[in-house]
Amino acid sequence: MKSLSWLITGLFLYGIALAMLVQGSLGLAPWNTLTSGLVEITGISFGMMTNLIGLVVLLLWIPLRQRPGVGTVLNVLLVGTSAEIGLWLLPQPSGLVAQVALFTGGLLLLAAATGIYIAPGLGPGPRDGLMTGLHERTGAPVWLCRAGVEITVLAVGWLLGGMVGIGTVAEALLIGPMVHRTLPFFRTVYAGRSAAAAVAAETRASA
């Protein structure tokens, strides 16, 4: 029950963070750029399109022989849904300062939410699983698979009129180091005090 509550909380907050980034209007990460581009040409809402893309990506796991976990399935169902709620609740800011503030808050929340939903270990998101699946099937390095997929979806999203800007660059540069901090923190919090004590003891021993 604890694992599921952490997973759902993290995925819900992830969707809210996406809504903050969209409303900040400074640019989006590759997959969200693709989503916003498809929204432009189809008229489907951002949240619904997020879920649909997640479902399509999940189907691509079949030839890659990847097995989804409960976290993978809930990712497809919840992230776009909570993003839609966030877009409904959050007004678009007026003025650059307000845009930067909303975008920055969204980026911080995105990093925290990633740590929260990954901590229970209930399965990767569909996009991450696609990259690891490509790595396992092709033998190419994970970074190359990730770069190839993300450059492709960014290019397609941009051609479709998706949201590309300084925020795209900022998210690409910052989200990795931020998650590098939040993931071990929330894994320790999830595991409880005993794990935290073990980490502290290991740190003292290696000092």
- State residue 207's pLDDT score: 43
* Cα gap 169→154, rounded to integer Å: 11
Who has greater pLDDT, 64 or 156? 156
Per-residue pLDDT at 194 exceeds 70 = no
Average pLDDT over residues 136-145: 86
Residue 13: which residues within 8 A CB-CB, separation 6 or more?
Answer: 82, 109, 112, 113, 116
Q: 67-115 pLDDT, tens per residue?
A: 888 999 999 999 999 999 999 999 999 899 999 999 999 999 999 999 9
Q: If residue 85 lies in a helix (H) or strand (E), which one and from where to where? A: helix 70-89
Tokens 């809504």 identify what position?
19
